[in-house]
Structure 1
Amino acid sequence: MQRSHQRADTPTGHVVVIGGGIAGLAAAHRLVATGLRVTLLEGADRLGGKLMTGEIAGVQVDLGAESMLARRPEAVGLAGEVGLADRLQPPATATASLWTRDALRPMPQGHVMGVPGDPAALGGVLSPEGLARIARERDLAPAAVGDDVAVGAYVADRLGHEVVDRLVEPLLGGVYAGDAYRISMRAAVPQLFEAVKEGGPLLESVRRVQERAAARQRTGPVFQGIRGGLGTLPGAVGDAVRAGGGEIRTETPVLGLTRTDGGWAVRTETGTIAADGIVLATPAWSAATLLAAECPAASAELSAVEYASMALVTLAFRRSDIEANEALRGRSGFLVPPVDGRTIKASTFSSNKWSWVADAAPGLFVLRTSVGRYGEEDHLQREDGELVAVSLRDLAAATGLTARPVDTEVTRWTGGLPQYPVGHLGRVARIRDEVARLKALRVCGAVYDGVGIPACIGGAQRAADEISRDLGGRHGTGAGGDHRHADPGSGHGERGGTIAV
Structure 2
Amino acid sequence: MSEAPAPTGEPAAERTTADVVVVGGGVAGLVAALECAKVGLRVTVLERRDELGGCVGRIELDGLTLDSGAESFATRGGAVAELLGSLGLDTEIEDPNPAGAWLAMPGRHGLTAAPLPKTGMLGIPSNPLGDDVRRIIGWSGAIRAYGDRLRPILRIGRARSLGQLVRSRMGQAVLDRLVTPIAAGVYSTDPNDLDLDVVAPGLNEAMTRMGSLSGGVGQLVEARKAGAAVGGISGGMHRLVDALEGELARFGVTVVRGAEVTGLVREPRLAESVSDDTGPSSAGTGDDAAGWIVTATTEAGELFVSAPDVVLAASGHAALALVDAALDGWARGSETWPDAASVELVTLVLDAPALDAAPRGTGVLVAADAPGVQAKALTHSTAKWPWLAEHAGGRHVVRLSYGRAGSPNPLDGRTDAEVAALALADAALLLGVPLDEGMLRASGRTLWRDALSQATLGQRDRVRALEAALAAEPGIEATGSWVAGTGLASVVPHALDAARRIRHRRVQPDGGA
Would you say same fold, with TM above 0.5? yes
Residue 262 of structure 2: which of 255, 260, 284 is its match?
255
2: CA distance, partners of 1:474 / 1:194: 43
Alignment of 1:258-337 (within 5 A): 258-259=265-266, 260-262=268-270, 263-269=291-297, 270-295=302-327, 296-297=329-330, 299-300=332-333, 304-318=337-351, 322-324=352-354, 328-329=358-359, 331-337=361-367
SS at match of 2:202: helix
TM-fit CA distance, 1:198: 5.1
TM-fit CA distance, 1:475: 13
SS at match of 1:133: helix
- Tell whether 2:75 aligns with 1:70: yes
SS at match of 1:156: helix
Q: 1:440 to 1:197 in 2, by over 3 A?
A: farther
Residue 118 of structure 2: which of 109, 112, 120 is its match?
109
1: CA distance, partners of 2:473 / 2:242: 31
SS at match of 2:467: helix
TM-fit CA distance, 1:36: 1.4
How many pairs are equivalent? 457
TM-fit CA distance, 1:257: 1.4
Question: 1:456 matched to which residue of 2?
Answer: 491
- Tell whether 2:181 aligns with 1:180: no
TM-fit CA distance, 1:150: 1.2
Q: 1:175 to 1:255 in 2, by over 3 A?
A: same
Alignment of 1:123-162 (within 5 A): 123-141=134-152, 142-146=154-158, 149-162=160-173
- Tell whether 2:231 aligns with 1:224: yes
2: CA distance, partners of 1:475 / 1:199: 53
Residue 102 of structure 2: which of 78, 97, 106 is its match?
97
SS at match of 1:174: helix
Q: 1:156 to 1:407 in 2, by over 3 A?
A: same
Question: 1:412 matched to which residue of 2?
Answer: 447
The one-letter code matched in structure 2 to 1:19 is G
SS at match of 1:20: coil
The one-letter code matched in structure 2 to 1:451 is T
The one-letter code matched in structure 2 to 1:392 is L
Q: 1:302 to 1:419 in 2, by over 3 A?
A: farther
TM-fit CA distance, 1:377: 2.8
TM-fit CA distance, 1:400: 2.3
- Tell whether 2:206 aligns with 1:195: yes
Q: 1:132 to 1:93 in 2, by over 3 A?
A: closer
Residue 401 of structure 1: which of 434, 456, 474 is its match?
434
Alignment of 1:353-392 (within 5 A): 353-381=384-412, 382-392=414-424
Question: 1:433 matched to which residue of 2?
Answer: 468
Residue 349 of structure 1: which of 344, 357, 380 is its match?
380
Q: 1:313 to 1:293 in 2, by over 3 A?
A: closer
Q: 1:28 to 1:473 in 2, by over 3 A?
A: farther
TM-fit CA distance, 1:299: 4.8
1: CA distance, partners of 2:86 / 2:307: 27
Question: 2:10 matched to which residue of 1?
Answer: none
Q: 1:424 to 1:195 in 2, by over 3 A?
A: farther
TM-fit CA distance, 1:418: 2.5
The one-letter code matched in structure 2 to 1:457 is V
Q: 1:474 to 1:55 in 2, by over 3 A?
A: farther
TM-fit CA distance, 1:383: 2.5
Offset from partner CA, 1:116-167 (integer Å, 9 cap, x none): 1111331210122111111222443533454x62101111011001111111
2: CA distance, partners of 1:241 / 1:51: 17
SS at match of 1:34: coil
The one-letter code matched in structure 2 to 1:230 is M
Moved more, 174-183 or 97-106: 97-106
Give structure 2 stretches of 5+ with no counterpart. 1-17, 271-290
Offset from partner CA, 1:153-211 (integer Å, 9 cap, x none): 11101100111111111112221111112111122222223424557221121122123
Q: 1:369 to 1:473 in 2, by over 3 A?
A: farther
Residue 34 of structure 1: which of 30, 39, 49 is its match?
39
Q: Is the 8 A contact 2:129 2:143 kept in 1?
A: no
Moved more, 201-210 or 322-331: 322-331
Moved more, 244-253 or 428-437: 244-253
Q: Is the 8 A contact 1:313 1:411 kept in 2?
A: yes
TM-fit CA distance, 1:252: 1.6
Offset from partner CA, 1:434-465 (integer Å, 9 cap, x none): 11101121111111111111211111000001
Q: 1:335 to 1:80 in 2, by over 3 A?
A: same
Question: 1:166 matched to which residue of 2?
Answer: 177
Structure ranking higher on relative contact order (CA contacts 8 Å, 6+ apart): 1
TM-fit CA distance, 1:103: 2.5
The one-letter code matched in structure 1 to 2:296 is T
SS at match of 2:500: helix
Q: 1:46 to 1:384 in 2, by over 3 A?
A: same
TM-fit CA distance, 1:27: 0.3
Question: 2:59 matched to which residue of 1?
Answer: 54
1: CA distance, partners of 2:139 / 2:472: 56
SS at match of 1:430: helix
% identical aligned pairs: 31
Offset from partner CA, 1:356-386 (integer Å, 9 cap, x none): 2222221311112111111223313133233
Q: Is the 8 A contact 2:342 2:409 kept in 1?
A: no
Q: Is the 8 A contact 1:314 1:408 kept in 2?
A: yes
2: CA distance, partners of 1:394 / 1:273: 47
TM-fit CA distance, 1:326: 7.2
Offset from partner CA, 1:239-274 (integer Å, 9 cap, x none): 101201221111122221122223112222333222
The one-letter code matched in structure 2 to 1:356 is W
Offset from partner CA, 1:85-133 (integer Å, 9 cap, x none): 2322221344211122333311102101111111133121012211111
SS at match of 1:50: coil
TM-fit CA distance, 1:474: 7.0
Question: 2:276 matched to which residue of 1?
Answer: none
The one-letter code matched in structure 2 to 1:206 is V
